[in-house]
């Protein structure tokens, strides 16, 4: 993985691999996508046994109804203790409902912990495509696991099909599912590349993530405007420099 940061961010370093939990509440089947380009034929690969998982919309609704496997009472108690610890009065009018709001917020922004992102890559279409497929500027919001502050930005995903393609919106859904959890940007980038390489088995995958981290813009070094760029490449994007250069030029534009 290649990582470029200006200036260096505090959200780096080793961390345990991301995990996916199954969900027993608010389940629904993922809608199969209609082919978005002419000449595609449906070809669903038989997936390994997997518990069906809901969409992020369903998870957000479940969070509001406190139907997710999240301990809301424990979060409420913890938030009240934090308010007391910083010298606030949790019983004043403006803060009375804050612990409950925070509990529902965490259930929503960490909804990806209860999703299997691979479910979005099971429906594929047989298509002979020799050139790169690139989806740029996929906006996302995630949460730094070091300070529990948001980092937001865009993901760019390119892959070289190997006889089949996936619906374009599914790549955006994968980004959403993986983004909604506490993590570091480096791991998020690697997770996206590894998942797509494993599930689609293309000739190559390239993932670039650009993000602004509030843990270094509103606290600590306080450098607003700084951006962190991470990349992860697999297959031909790693072994063939011209292919990797083409990806970078399509994402960032040609220099000179």
- Judge whether 146 counts as a catalytic residue: yes
**C-alpha distances in Å from residue 204, one per residue of 37, 77, 110, 173:** 21, 47, 30, 20
- Judge whether 144 counts as a catalytic residue: yes
Q: Please give the distance of CA 62 from its chain centroid, rounded to a whole number.
A: 19
From the list 25, 146, 194, 201, the catalytic residue is 146
Long-range Cβ contact pairs of 86-93 (< 8 A, separation 24 or more): none
- Judge whether 114 counts as a catalytic residue: no
- Judge whether 215 counts as a catalytic residue: yes
- Judge whether 185 counts as a catalytic residue: yes
- Judge whether 25 counts as a catalytic residue: no
Distance CA 139, CA 154 (A): 4
From the list 33, 61, 88, 145, the catalytic residue is 145
From the list 11, 114, 156, 185, the catalytic residue is 185
- Judge whether 65 counts as a catalytic residue: no
From the list 11, 143, 186, 215, the catalytic residue is 215
From the list 114, 120, 147, 156, the catalytic residue is 147
Two tokens at 131? 């050139």
Strand order in the sheet with 227-235: 2-6, 227-235, 204-213, 150-160, 133-144, 182-183
Residues that are catalytic = 144-147, 185, 213, 215
């Amino acid at each position: 993985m290649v990582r470029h940061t200006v200036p260096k961010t505090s959200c780096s370093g080793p961390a345990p691999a991301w995990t996916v939990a199954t969900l027993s509440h608010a389940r629904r089947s993922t809608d199969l996508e209609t082919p978005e380009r002419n000449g595609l034929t449906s070809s669903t690969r038989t997936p390994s046994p997997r518990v069906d998982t809901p969409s992020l919309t369903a998870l957000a609704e479940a969070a509001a109804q406190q139907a997710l496997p999240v301990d809301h009472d424990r979060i409420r108690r913890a938030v009240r203790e934090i308010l007391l610890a910083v010298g606030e009065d949790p019983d004043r009018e403006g803060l009375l409902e804050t612990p409950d709001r925070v509990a529902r917020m965490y259930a929503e922004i960490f909804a990806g912990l209860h999703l299997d992102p691979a479910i979005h890559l099971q429906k594929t279409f047989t298509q002979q495509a020799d050139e790169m497929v690139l989806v740029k500027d996929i906006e996302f919001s995630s949460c730094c696991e070091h300070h529990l502050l948001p980092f937001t930005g865009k993901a760019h995903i390119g892959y070289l099909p190997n006889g089949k393609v996936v619906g374009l919106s599914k790549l955006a859904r994968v980004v959403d599912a993986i983004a909604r959890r506490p993590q570091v940007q480096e791991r998020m980038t690697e997770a996206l590349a590894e998942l797509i390489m494993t599930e689609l088995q293309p000739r190559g995958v390239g993932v670039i993530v650009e993000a602004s981290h509030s843990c270094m813009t509103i606290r600590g070094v306080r450098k607003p405007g700084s951006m962190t760029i991470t990349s992860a490449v697999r297959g031909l994007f790693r072994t063939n420099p011209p292919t990797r250069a083409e990806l970078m030029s399509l994402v960032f534009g040609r220099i000179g």
